[in-house]
Structure 1
């Protein structure tokens, strides 16, 4: 049995530059990282890997020196005005880093157009050996697992995948009963975290929790064991666990990354 891949997601240590993130991942014991090539929001502090050749060089050097590899790339949004061809440079940079999985958000209420754009992105990404993963998030236009599955299947591309994030799975009310419809070829990695308490009624609060207040695996109320048992065995896990309160208390990025990995391994060991 091959050892499960654990990847450090950018959102867990968003204050770090990409070279610093690679160094922290190596020191904590991760084999992979995720690179945020495009910021998730206009307000987000961002290190411009696509535009900054020197930053790319430093990151590639750190990857080579540590042996850490890149798992996924984020985050592209499919919007009503999206021109998929405009993503080519981002995919080129992602391929330069060796990333094979690409995180996609659906921000278009026209599902037919969203599906067409996802198919076009899959076609473009194929040239770079990259697999787009449509991530369902309850505040976006792809709200839950069933809808994400429908879009990806209707797009009809063999490199099109669905991304399951434990937070969004819980907060979208998605069902474990729907996971068998997600064939192994449609999921190449998952995002793992935990979240405390019942699902809020207010979507703004769900969004705030998603970006600032997740819990380490096993420290919340998600059915992580049920979720992991329903997913393919040995699926790579990206640990995406923003914990603003800990950061504000002075818990370092390295300490947070190490806690995330230790607690994820403890949960996986229970399967």
Structure 2
């Protein structure tokens, strides 16, 4: 079973969802993964389609004309003093668009509180048929594989999952072999990119690379093949922000190069004998 690919919004964050759909379709992706939950970060566009009916209509038209599908939406963050029901409008729109998953991450160090709120997000997502997939981020409250696995066990929700991002996995000094010991049903999709092998010690530099200078697959020092072959999912979402390349090539060409490098890497480094038994294809 071949991998299927989604274009994560951070790869081309300057594209509103309708344009992202066209870019993904023209580049050859199977899905796109729009950022429909506005986070209020400095300089980040607001693509909350629940609050923008015209952009929602345009997104539906783009999907209908190209055949591209939505895989997951983001980002249902868990943070102090949050109210999970604020994510309901985005979930309702995601259901209209046929999405399969909601991406989440934890940005509080109060882990008892985070566990409670993550469970609530899972419960809200269940009637829509969504999984809620937890992404650990090295600078966040849940910052490594062990922390994410503990939360999923504590939450104990059937629609809770684990989303492995290649950049974050490498930067957290995690061991690919540890993935083998986790429940197979946790894995629904993964984020793919590459990055320099050396891990920055300066937090600002770390964030700069994470948000704007990840590398095409095979260019960096991450042992991507050893991670991917342990993730039993056929869906790969390419999250590869590189601001300079996007400016030089344009979003469409950058997205195309992301996909082409990923496919080439998989062909060269993951022959069928090394690929996991895949599940989750649409």
The TM-score bracket by the shorter chain reads: over 0.9
Instruction: Specify every segment of 5 or more residues in structure 2 that has no aligned partner in the other structure, as ranges.
Output: 271-282
User: Partners of 1:123 and 1:246 in 2: how far apart?
Assistant: 40
1:114-141 CA distances to partner (integer Å, 9 max, x unpaired)? 1111111111100111111111001100
Deviation of the 1:40 alpha carbon: 4.4
CA RMSD of aligned residues (A): 1.2
Q: For 2:129, what is the secondary structure of its paired residue?
A: coil
Residue 36 (structure 1) aligns with:
35
Q: Which runs of 4+ in 1 moved over 6 A?
A: none
> Which residues of 2 match residues 123-162 of structure 1 at below 5 A?
123-162=123-162
Deviation of the 1:203 alpha carbon: 2.2
Contact 2:49 2:90 in 1 (8 A): no
Contact 1:7 1:238 in 2 (8 A): yes
User: Partners of 1:158 and 1:51 in 2: how far apart?
Assistant: 30
Q: For 2:77, what is the secondary structure of its paired residue?
A: strand
> Which residues of 2 match residues 53-68 of structure 1 at below 5 A?
53-68=53-68
Contact 1:121 1:132 in 2 (8 A): yes
Residue 262 (structure 1) aligns with:
260
Deviation of the 1:178 alpha carbon: 1.4
Q: For 1:230, what is the secondary structure of its paired residue?
A: coil
Q: For 2:228, what is the secondary structure of its paired residue?
A: helix
What count of residue pairs does the alignment treat as equivalent? 268
User: Which deviates the most, 135-144 or 89-98?
Assistant: 89-98
Instruction: Specify every segment of 5 or more residues in structure 1 that has no aligned partner in the other structure, as ranges.
Output: none
User: Partners of 1:14 and 1:152 in 2: how far apart?
Assistant: 29
> Which residues of 2 match residues 175-190 of structure 1 at below 5 A?
175-190=175-190
Deviation of the 1:41 alpha carbon: 4.6
> Which residues of 2 match residues 40-51 of structure 1 at below 5 A?
40-43=39-42, 44-51=44-51
Is 1:244 paired with 2:243?
yes
Q: For 2:71, what is the secondary structure of its paired residue?
A: strand
Deviation of the 1:152 alpha carbon: 1.0
Deviation of the 1:267 alpha carbon: 1.2
User: Partners of 1:177 and 1:134 in 2: how far apart?
Assistant: 19
Residue 92 (structure 1) aligns with:
92
Please report the TM-score for the alignment, with normalisation by the length of structure 1: 0.95
1:30-59 CA distances to partner (integer Å, 9 max, x unpaired)? 110001012345211233322000100110
Residue 18 (structure 2) aligns with:
19
Please report the TM-score for the alignment, with normalisation by the length of structure 2: 0.92
